[in-house]
Structure 1
């Protein structure tokens, strides 16, 4: 799959301006072209000025025409097909530095989205007008409108997050809860099971689970090992194997780092409690 680096895009470039970690490009894609699967290293907006095409990502197909506004987070795979007439679009690529400088969370907006919000679309129509003006005030004007767009998008995203999480969150909770082979909790496999991209899962996992996937797996392994110690049926080596530690010494070290005592001391305490 092709990765588009800073400033790269498909189509014939008409003009490009760059300032404050933003790159704004206008381009034309010829009729009947096919844009293959690809992803961008940076997040970006695409505003369709003319023509129609279909955008396909891992979740859906989006019919795009004049005044369509799309947002793609970084490294979200997609392709375009059924390009009719000549598609004229402009594209605002946003480097990660820009988000950090503006104290914005780059991951508050998930995946690829088709934006219908009329106020945000109006802002992008005005951004396009600024491209046609291009005077000394243009960078300030465009950046101001872009910040307004993100403010509106983040408010909408927060309402969704605080309301009902996506269906895949509940499905993922079930998979993790039912799993005892923690080494099988692979990011790519989990993403395929719940029908989203691995990049999207990695980026949004902490929002719904309070920690990243690797930290959750380490914690679940330790918690499971404690349960097995309390049962008293297995040796340390057996517990290390069942919980997916590389060896017994790794298990002992990880357990002590987490609970402050060795598995042996914990086992003795658990057995003493059982006798009482």
Structure 2
């Protein structure tokens, strides 16, 4: 089992490093899209001056960098499996004049911090990809101070996330891909009602609450949406690599058709829905 978890970690690390350039290219669009979830996380953990805060699965830096700008002489640690993503986060911090951050490449299941270190922890869209979600949650609880606050976001059900299903639904329908084993890392792994509440409770957190947060991916055009998904989404690229050129064209045409049917005015603002989960140690 441990070998299998390590294999998943290495695959994910390689994928995020590979697609980091795409995330950098599309950073403005994706961060605008994901901002409502980050804002909700921030409202839950209530950052204040002097806090020491951990941001897990930081990617290109949000919501960690916004939190860092709110804690004055406190400190914000940005952590991720991917060193290339954290390089982008460091560049973003520098460009915004944020100097109270430190980036650390590490696995959430083996956090390199002492017990009871952090006042709060944020984690936007990380849990779905952690090989062992319970171990990850317990590690976060371990490094959180007594009374500390943690908030995370996970994607909701497929029916509310057309930004995924427009492409992956079309790919699956055409290529008849085998579904991944139950519980495998993936976008909708944490969408089941109550799953994250139960996970937080089992990890030792209390005063747990959940809230749905919706947003729009304002891609404006089908071309922007298609290009972005092909430059940031490893599952899309991986699946399309199995198709010949004719099938790739067919899938692209059907994705565009689905977008045009849903947004006939040509303004492609795609629905998304997530759940933000909060708990206290």
TM-score (structure 2 length as normaliser): 0.25
Q: Which has the higher contact order (CA 8 A, sep 6+)?
A: 2
Provide TM-score, normalisation by structure 1.
0.25
Larger Rg: 1
